[in-house]
Amino acid sequence: MKAPVLLMLAFAAITAHAQTSINNFKYVIVPEKFSFSKSENQYGLNTTLRDLLEEKGFTAIMSNSQLPQDVAANKCSALLADVTEKKGLFVTNLTIQLKDCQGNIIFKSKEGKSREKEFQPAYDGALRDAYTSVKAAPYQYDGSTFAPAPTASAVPVPAAPVATTPAAVATAVIAATIITDATGTLYAQATPNGFQLIDTTPKKVLTILKTSTPDYFIAQNGSVAGVVFKKNEEWLYEYYKDDKLVSQKLQIKF
């Protein structure tokens, strides 16, 4: 009788995710740099996407800007924008993705294309072509404050009946977490809204943004979003990769 309980939990998580839509979100955070870009706001793509999303009706915020109080208090109240590129011969292909705080894709645009030869008009044209499917999608913020359910991967379904005590469920979740150690010291450089974490190269590794909670930051690494927080006198950087929670220890000097 106990195994079906976990099955029901997994089904509830999948159902909750399936019902999630862009209408659950008022805010979208746009990163300073996309993963395929060589520099921040290359070709003006990031600010262009922000402006297009504002045109759609979202409140779009650059990740290096001051966050509204409700977003700072609950990072899951905002979508995270991403743009991906598919390499093509004589054609630029871009796709817009809107993800929740766990990395689940809530909306994916069509593949925008441009055959312009110059980089600037090619990337701008492909982004605007991809945006046409965002523009066509119905959107009206429903006033909810979204808090996503755990992904199904965090609730494994056993082959045989197991105890379903809170301790047993917590152990299952922890077992699904990938834990990595710190790879070197990072130095915090103050920004208007938080810090840049710089390695010894020097190279910017992470941008962390202040929240209303001390020692708790929203983290941005290209298109990967997560959180940095202090636990048991250790700094941890946590984010989702391939539906698995990654917890990385950091050595930070402020």
* Amino acid at residue number 122: A
In Å, how far from its chain's centre is CA 124?
A: 23
10 Å Cβ neighbour count for 21? 14
Q: Which of 241, 222, 206 is nearest to 38 (CA)?
A: 222
Distance CA 96, CA 110 (A): 8
Q: What is the pLDDT of residue 204?
A: 87
What rounded mean pLDDT belongs to the chain?
Answer: 81
The pair of three-digit structure tokens given for residue 40, joined into one six-digit string: 């921040």
Q: What is the pLDDT of residue 155?
A: 44
24 φψ region: left (φ > 0), alpha (ψ -120 to 50), beta (else): alpha
Render pLDDT for 192-241 as a digit per residue (tens, 0 to 9): 888 988 888 888 888 998 888 888 889 888 767 888 999 888 898 888 88
Render pLDDT for 141-171 as a digit per residue (tens, 0 to 9): 988 765 544 444 444 444 444 444 554 444 4
Non-local CB neighbours of 224 within 8 Å, separated by 6+ positions: 35, 239, 241
Distance CA 218, CA 19 (A): 25
Q: Would you say 79 and 71 are in contact if contact means Cβ atoms under 8 Å apart?
A: no
Distance CA 14, CA 149 (A): 8
- Give CA separation, 209 vs 44, 80, 103, 194, in Å: 22, 14, 18, 4
Q: Would you say 29 and 225 are in contact if contact means Cβ atoms under 8 Å apart?
A: yes
In Å, how far from its chain's centre is CA 193?
A: 18
With both helix axes pointing from N to C terminus, report the angle between 45-56 and 119-136 in degrees, rounded to the nearest 10. 20
10 Å Cβ neighbour count for 165? 10
Domains and CATH numbers, the chain: 21-136 (3.40.50), 177-253 (no CATH)
**Residue 161, CB half-sphere, CA atoms under 13 Å: how many?**
4
Q: What is the pLDDT of residue 114?
A: 96
Q: What is the pLDDT of residue 116?
A: 94
Distance CA 114, CA 123 (A): 7
Higher-pLDDT residue of 126 and 143 is 126
Average pLDDT rounded to a whole number, residues 23-34: 94
**Residue 62, CB half-sphere, CA atoms under 13 Å: how many?**
15
Distance CA 136, CA 176 (A): 38
Distance CA 142, CA 221 (A): 30
pTM for the whole thing?
A: 0.54
Q: What is the pLDDT of residue 19?
A: 53
Confidence of residue 132 (pLDDT cuts 50, 70, 90): very high
The pair of three-digit structure tokens given for residue 132, joined into one six-digit string: 């046409």
